[in-house]
């Protein structure tokens, strides 16, 4: 079995090892080493990356049948041989980020236990987010702030973080969600944060809490009787702050206001927008009424009904539906309308007293453009493909000949 050296030193990123097996994993070349500092994906923490003799290590996994650690390589086939000595380098930036986030998670988990009696039931760490799920719903803003404040107090106290091996009868006071699938140490590995927390864990962590820098809760989400909480630690928290500071600075400059005034001004703009949109909707409806009246007045009646055909360039489909509805709300009218653009759209409608099948007519017409659609005998629509005004009008004119 591979000797897992990352248990002893999470800070060492360059080491030598001997290849004990060359294999594959999901059709990719993989190596088993006699010893490794590469952390495999487990316990909610992602794997390390780096190189082995300058060949990229893309993934690190634990083989189920024997708990061997597989180092998945970019190169296929592998240029290596068994018993070959190799030099490995771990991506320190990725490793340290994981150390900050994972140790921060332990601190935040214990902080919620102490301030809200809420226990962590799951942990997930990815390049995009860090989350924990708490066995509580409806956490108040005061409880969230209290837990965050306690976590940062522990971080700023620069407490020591150490890992010790404990036996089964020495687990009092140790937090543990479940026993590991493979016990690869002589006992249970317990991470101790000086005077604050003891947790069974096989991950990589900082040596002192001060290395985390800071912790910030950025989002909460109710999930049934649980709460999912997203947070950032260290470099991620600083990056998150930088992104938000840049956005808010641009907003204050654009609105010519100070930071505390932004929410009030945004609410004011939102209210003004709603009023403007309502007014615009009323005006558009009035224009459609005038347009419908004009089209009906200009149209000719043949075979007992009035036929209206029209195509537009980039017209809003909602507005086009309203026009079709207004044209055919009276008797003896058929309206074949279309709008061109990247997503061309056809709308065929008729008065309720007529018998033409708009669904069948539309399906054939839109098919000529390469789109899809259909509907009821009195109203149908479809499209979704790029077409010019000329192409749209052509299929409308052809459909008109089949009425």
Token look-up 């005061």 returns 142
Residue 122 pairs with which residues in a beta bridge? 133
pLDDT per residue over 339-377, tens digit each? 999 999 999 999 999 999 999 999 999 999 999 998 999
**What angle do the packed helices 92-116 and 234-255 form, to 10 degrees?**
80
* Short-list 72, 24, 75, CA closest to 48: 72
User: Pick from 331, 369, 329, 365: which is nearest to 347 by CA?
Assistant: 365
Q: Evaluate whether 323 touches 291 at the Cβ level (below 8 Å).
A: yes
List of domains in the chain: 3-90 (2.40.30.130), 95-242 (3.30.980.10), 298-400 (3.10.310.40)
pLDDT value, residue 71: 97
pLDDT block averages, 10 residues each, the chain of length 403: 90 96 93 96 93 96 92 86 96 97 97 96 92 94 97 98 78 62 67 94 95 97 94 96 94 92 93 95 93 93 91 94 96 97 96 95 94 94 94 96 91
Task: Dump pLDDT digits (tens) for 175-214.
Answer: 666 555 555 555 788 999 999 999 989 899 999 999 999 9
CA 114 to chain centre: 31
DSSP 253-270: HHHT--GGGHHHHHHHHH
- Which residue's structure tokens are 């930088």? 242
Report how far apart, in Å, the C-alpha atoms of 328 and of each of 281, 289, 321, 352, 378 are. 21, 12, 11, 8, 9
Structure confidence at residue 90 (pLDDT): 97
Classify burial at 385, counting beta carbons within 10 Å of its beta carbon; exposed 0-12, middle 13-18, buried 19 or more: middle
What is the predicted pLDDT for the residue at 138?
A: 86
What is the pTM assigned to this prediction? 0.74
């Amino acid at each position: 079995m591979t000797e897992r050296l990352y248990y002893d030193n999470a800070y060492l990123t360059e080491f030598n090892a001997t290849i004990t097996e060359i294999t594959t994993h999901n059709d990719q070349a993989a190596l088993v080493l006699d010893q490794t500092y590469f952390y495999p994906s487990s316990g909610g923490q992602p794997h390390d990356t780096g190189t082995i003799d300058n060949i990229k290590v893309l993934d690190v996994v634990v083989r189920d049948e024997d708990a061997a650690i597989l180092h998945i390589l970019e190169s296929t086939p592998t240029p290596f041989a068994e018993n070959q000595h190799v030099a490995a380098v771990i991506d320190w930036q990725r490793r340290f980020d994981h150390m900050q986030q994972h140790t921060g998670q332990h601190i935040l988990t214990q902080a919620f236990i102490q301030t809200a009696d809420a226990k962590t039931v799951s942990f997930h760490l990815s390049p995009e987010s860090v989350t924990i799920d708490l066995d509580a719903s409806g956490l108040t803003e005061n409880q969230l702030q209290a837990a965050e404040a306690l976590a940062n107090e522990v971080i700023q106290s620069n407490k020591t973080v150490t890992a010790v091996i404990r036996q089964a009868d020495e687990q009092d006071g140790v937090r543990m969600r479940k026993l590991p699938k493979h016990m690869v140490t002589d006992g249970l590995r317990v991470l101790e944060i000086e005077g604050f927390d003891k947790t069974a864990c096989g991950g990589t962590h900082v040596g002192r809490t001060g290395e985390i820098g800071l912790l910030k809760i950025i989002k909460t989400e109710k999930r049934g009787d649980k709460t999912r909480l997203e947070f950032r630690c260290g470099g991620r928290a600083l990056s998150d702050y930088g992104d938000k500071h840049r956005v808010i600075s641009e907003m204050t400059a654009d609105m010519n206001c100070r930071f505390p005034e932004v929410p009030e001004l945004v609410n004011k703009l939102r209210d003004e927008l709603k009023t403007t949109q309502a007014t615009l909707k009323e005006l558009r409806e009035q224009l459609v009424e005038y347009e419908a009246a004009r089209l009906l007045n200009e149209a000719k009646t043949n075979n007992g009904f009035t036929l209206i055909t029209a195509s537009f360039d980039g017209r809003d489909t909602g507005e086009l539906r309203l026009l079709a509805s207004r044209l055919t709300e009276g008797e003896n009218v058929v309206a074949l309308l279309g709008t061109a653009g990247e997503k061309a759209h056809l709308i065929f409608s008729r008065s309720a007293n007529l018998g033409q099948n708009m669904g069948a007519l539309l399906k054939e017409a839109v098919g000529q453009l390469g789109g899809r659609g259909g509907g009821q005998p009195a109203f149908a629509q479809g499209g979704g493909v790029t077409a010019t005004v000329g192409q749209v009008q052509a299929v409308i004119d052809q459909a008109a000949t089949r009425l």
